[in-house]
Amino acid sequence: MNLINPSVVASEAEALESIKPTREEAEEAVRTLLRWAGENPAREGLLDTPKRVTKAYGQWFKGYGEDPAEMLQRTFDEVEGYDEIVALCNIRFESYCEHHMAPIIGVAHVAYIPTNRVVGISKLARVVDTFAKRLQVQEKMNAQIANTLFDVLKPQGVAVMIEGEHHCMSTRGVHKPGVNMVTKKMLGVFKDDKAMAREFLDIVNHSKA
């Protein structure tokens, strides 16, 4: 289990912030890439491109400024003894691979079995988005989501399955569009009890029907 240490997360964020370039420096970097690609950043159609790209980066990578553990702090205790699977399927996400910075587009399926408290389902989607809005490797993103839910909510178990199309594979390299990469992470009862794992996979498959 990877326990989350808020002080470590905060210190890492502060360290990154201290070396973060200015917006002007980021825009100049975009101009450099445009010149490297063979373009003229001074032509009319590209004059505002550096500004647009840096603004887009702020949206694409906003997850670095968000704390997924904080999102899960508000929970509800009045569950009338509910101790079955809570699942949120087909959570669409957009991420970027850390090797080529090409898009990863896909869906995440998230489930947990509460002990004595539940969390609002929108928070599950927000946790997925927070980790997706960072440079990622799908296996790591899958583990980050599952570990965070398990560490913060303290449920009986967590299951996370991700299906993603990697554009670093579909638009470059081997050029194989339409290929989905599937990863999954099971913790707690989902890992220990094969019947529970099958039930989760059945829920995911049923959601696609």
Q: Which residues are catalytic?
A: 97-100, 138, 166, 168
The torsion defined by the Cα of 13, 14, 20 and 24, in degrees rounded to 10, comes to 110
Integer angstrom CA distances of residue 21 from 10, 54, 59, 97, 136:
19, 11, 17, 21, 21
Q: Which backbone phi and psi does 62 adopt, to 5 degrees? A: -70, -15
Letter string b/e over residues 122-135, b meaning 16 or more CB atoms within 10 A of that residue's CB: ebbbebbbbbbbbb
CA neighbours within 13 Å on the CB side: how many for 41?
17
Would you call 113 exposed, middle or buried from its count of C-beta atoms within 10 A (0-12, 13-18, 19+)? buried
Cα 3 from chain centroid (whole Å): 18
Contact of 111 with 200, CB cutoff 8 Å: yes
State how far the Cα of 3 lies from the Cα of 100, in Å rounded to an integer: 30
